[in-house]
Structure 1
């Protein structure tokens, strides 16, 4: 059942990529164009640092799959692309391995094909400390992702229905492991209140995992004979909304969910993300064109992100968070209801200019 479910997830995720347009609130975020803000390309770096972690690029391949022969082949391709482009990489949930060690190779291939890369192991919020350590050891992981997914579990025919222990278990895991712990939603978003709770639990990073990309509640409902959980489709907050909600929450955040192209990545970084993850768009490329096509796509994304930084005058990804942004439409309504000052975002460069003037620094 578990193996079939993993293969079903891939098939249904690709069907979403092919047929679903959806509402992506990244389109409701735009940069204010300042015609003389640009800098020289050699001044631009893509490096990012957060929570004691340093990456040479702010883009990463986020958690997808593993546990079957087919998904092992996918993971080999993802790991090869990560190795060739230098992007960090997260495994899919290793729950299948914890239940059946015979499928270990479908996950460990991520490290074998990418021996020097940054690899994140992924477990669920009910994993024991012992099982978490097994997952870390399997991948020789550099960081740990704990995924949270109540909407998916609710729609899943054989899913969990007991969520009350998740907070205490996340705290136990975080205290027990020596690696940075990243808590990740799978597509329904982390609210500001949740991010604040994670900070109190000792979690180092929040991967906001918002609505807009692969919808796992929709996938699980597609596995139900009656498809009777359609009311959970598009549940939660978009990634853009989560980024706005999490500002000044005191925890570094990663942005994933609905990232379609380098402009979305730049928007996410400008909204405060330290790194930006993509899954579905990379999976589609890998399955359609093979690993060389995925390598070319990631390299192109990184080149275009550097080009955007050059045009916007951001020497680093972190400097994008000082660039002026406009928030429109339904996302602006969300901000009004959540008491988020969008006007401040539109005037951020004035504060940066004032700081430069007061310190006597050259622009």
Structure 2
């Protein structure tokens, strides 16, 4: 039954990608163009470092799948693409393996095909400490993702309905494993308050996993006989909104959810992300064109990201946080309601950003 559900997720996720309108709130973030800001391409680096983690590029293949024969083949191909392009890769939830060790190879292939790469194992927030360690050991993982997905679980016919244990369990796992822990949402976003709570729990990095890409609540509704949770479509905050909301937090954040092209990667980095993850778009490329097509796509994205950094005058991905940004539309309304200072975001290159771009609640 688990294998069937994993295959359903892949099928429905690809259908969702192909039927997506293509627009999201990254379109409401634009760079201020400074015509003489450019630098030499030879001086640009894509390397990023955060929370003691060093990646040669700020792009990664985010958590997708595993647990069935078909998804094992997908993981093999994703791992080859990660190996050939040098980007990090995360497994899908290893819950299937924890319940049925016979499917270990569908996850283990990520390490076998990418022996020297940066690999993240993935568990849910109800995993025991022992199972979290098993997940890390299975992949010889460099980091552990814990995914949180209350909206997905709520709509999933067989989903969890008890969430009160998640916070203390995350804290226990963080204290018990020997690798950095990254907590990620699966498509509904992490609020400023949630990221601060994760910091208190000892979590090293937060992946905001916002709305705008694959909608797992919608996917789970597609698995329901009556599809009676359609009102949950679009639940949560967009990735761009989450990154703006996270201004001033004390731990690094990663961005995933609705990343469609290298410009979105640059936007996310400029909004404060240390790295940017892609799932659905890469999966569609892989299934449509195979491993060569995915390798070509990732390589092109990295080259184009370096080109954008060159034009914007950002020697490193982190330097994009000094670029001036304009926030438009509903995203600007979100910033006004959440106390994010868009005026300073638009003037960062002049050194007017100060220590934070988030207004305190009692500011005028």
What range is the shorter-chain TM-score in?
A: over 0.9
Q: Which position in structure 2 is the counterpart of 1:331?
A: 331
Q: Is the 8 A contact 2:345 2:353 kept in 1?
A: no
Q: Name the structure 2 match of 1:172.
A: 172
**What SS does the corresponding residue of 1:333 show, helix, strand or coil?**
helix
Does 2:184 match 1:184?
yes
Contact 1:322 1:352 in 2 (8 A): no
| Residue of structure 2 equivalent to 1:78 | 78
Given that 1:123 and 1:147 are in contact with CA atoms closer than 8 Å, whether structure 2 keeps it comes out as yes
User: SS state of the match for residue 275, structure 1?
Assistant: strand
Residue 265 of structure 2: aligned partner: 265
Residues 264, 327 of structure 1: alpha-carbon distance in 2 compared, 3 angstrom cutoff = same
| 1:93-151 per-position Cα deviation (integer Å, ceiling 9, x unaligned) | 00000000000000000000000000000000000000111100000000000000000
Q: CA deviation at 1:205?
A: 0.1
Contact between 2:344 and 2:352, CA under 8 Å: does it hold in 1? no
Q: Does 1:31 align with 2:34?
A: no
Any conservation in 1 of the 2:256–2:278 contact (CA below 8 Å)?
yes
What is the alpha-carbon distance in structure 2 between the residues aligned to residue 14 and residue 113 of structure 1?
24
Residue pairs, 1:1-363, within 5 angstroms: 1-21=1-21, 23-351=23-351
Task: Please state whether the residue corresponding to 1:234 is helix, strand or coil.
Answer: coil
Distance 2:222 2:343 in 1: 41
Give the deviation of 1:21 after TM superposition.
1.1
Structure-1-length-normalised TM-score: 0.97
Kindly tell me the number of residue pairs found equivalent between the two proteins. 354
Structure 2 CA distance, aligned partners of 1:49 and 1:281? 25
SS at match of 1:30: strand
Work out the CA distance in 2 between the residues paired with 1:228 and 1:116.
Answer: 45
Q: CA deviation at 1:231?
A: 1.1
- Bigger Cα displacement from structure 2, 22-31 vs 96-105: 22-31
Query: Counterparts of 2:9 and 2:271 in 1: how far apart (Å)?
Result: 30
What CA distance in whole angstroms lies between the structure 2 residues aligned with 1:110 and 1:201?
A: 29
- CA distance in 1 between counterparts of 2:264 and 2:144 reads 25
Give the CA deviation at 1:23. Answer: 4.5
Runs of 4+ in 1 over 2 A off after TM superposition: none
Q: Distance in 2 between matches of 1:129 and 1:2?
A: 22
Q: Which secondary structure state, in structure 2, belongs to the residue aligned with residue 144 of structure 1? A: strand
Supply the distance in 2 between the matched residues of 1:339 and 1:275 (Cα, whole angstroms): 24
Are the aligned partners of 2:344 and 2:353 in contact in 1 as well (CA < 8 Å)?
Answer: no
Mapped to 2, the partners of 1:310 and 1:282 lie a distance apart of 25
CA offsets, 1:226-267, max 9 Å, x none?
A: 000111111000000000000111110000000000000000
**2:359 aligned partner:** none
Secondary structure of 1:182's aligned partner: strand
Distance in 2, matches of 1:77 and 1:303, equals 21
Return the alpha-carbon distance in structure 2 between the equivalents of residues 349 and 214 of structure 1. Answer: 34
TM-superposed CA distance for 1:352, in Å, is: 7.5
Alpha-carbon deviations, 1:319-358, whole Å to 9, x = none?
A: 000000000000000000001100100000000799xxxx
Q: Unaligned 5+ residue runs, structure 1?
A: 355-363
Query: How far apart in 1 are the matches of 2:201 and 2:315?
Result: 34
Unaligned runs of 5+ in 2: 355-364
Q: Provide the C-alpha distance between the structure 2 equivalents of 1:352 and 1:338, rounded to a whole number of angstroms.
A: 20
Taking only aligned residues, the RMSD between alpha carbons, in angstroms, comes to 1.1
Q: Give the corresponding residue for 1:361.
A: none
Deviation at 1:20, TM superposition (A): 1.8
| SS at 1:92 equivalent | coil
- Tell me how far apart the structure 2 counterparts of residues 129 and 74 of structure 1 sit (CA, whole Å): 28
Task: Decide whether aligned partners of structure 1 residues 237 and 353 sit closer, same or farther in structure 2, where only a CA change above 3 A counts.
Answer: closer
